[in-house]
Amino acid sequence: MDKMKWALPLLAVAILAAGAGPAPAQMRKEVGPQNAYVPSLGDIMGATQLRHFKLWFAGRLKNWDLAQYELDQIRASFQDAVTLYPGIPVTDMTVVAAPVHALEAAIAGKDEAAFAKSFNELTTACNSCHQMNDRGYIVIQVPTSSPFSNQVFEPLGRK
Ligand code: HEC
């Protein structure tokens, strides 16, 4: 998943950015249209699935910095989806806006219970959009175990 290659319009999509704190600058190279690579919506979603998973583990292990980072990544992916695939009804994206903002607050407050609750709401929002887009067979759930043995999710110093 070489995000650096994604030549995406750096258009600010206000929908998810509004309300929350400023998203950190994404590492994203600006390249000309001649070598533009546009990820498919399925690819954007695949990346989102990965971040959804990592966000969960980071939050469970109280690695709030990592959780914030993964949430920002998810938000950026949603912005890409809206920008590149405007065919997705915007009302669908507003479904995820509330859980994303709730997660932002839970992470800022290091609130485990609020994190778990809003993560559940985010997951429900993922699925409701899939249902609305005839993709009801793509069912996301709260992760049950970690397939990523190549990344440490505990905060540094707590290993
Ligand atoms: C605004 C609507 C919308 C939201 C919100 C949404 N999705 Fe999707 N998702 C789609 C659509 C549409 C597809 C099918 C894309 C295609 O067929 O090209 C999809 C496909 C997927 C896929 C299949 C990709 C693959 O290649 O197997 C996964 C996984 C996925 N989404 C995960 C998520 C997760 C996780 C969330 C929430 C954090 C989420 N989606 C939120 C619309 C949405």
From ligand 1's centre to the CA of 82, what distance in Å? 12
Q: Hey, what domains does the chain have and what are their CATH numbers?
A: 40-143 (1.20.120)
Please list the pLDDT of the chain residue by residue as tens digits (159 residues).
Answer: 444 333 333 333 444 544 444 445 555 555 556 667 889 999 999 999 999 999 999 999 999 999 999 999 999 999 989 888 887 766 667 889 999 999 999 999 999 999 999 999 999 999 999 998 889 999 999 999 877 888 888 898 865
- Report pLDDT for 152: 87
Task: Decide: 126 in ligand 1 pocket, CB within 6 A.
Answer: yes
Tell me which residue has its CA closest to atom 41 in ligand 1: 126
| Residue closest by Cα to atom 11 of ligand 1 | 130
For residues 56 and 119, the answer to whether their CB atoms sit within 8 Å is yes
Q: Which pLDDT value is given to residue 31?
A: 57
Question: From the alpha carbon of 88, which atom of ligand 1 is closest?
Answer: 1
Residue 29 pLDDT: 56
Contacts for 86-95 with beta carbons within 8 Å, 24 or more apart? 88/41, 88/129, 88/133, 89/132, 90/15, 92/129, 92/132, 92/133, 93/15, 93/16, 93/129, 94/15, 95/125, 95/128, 95/129
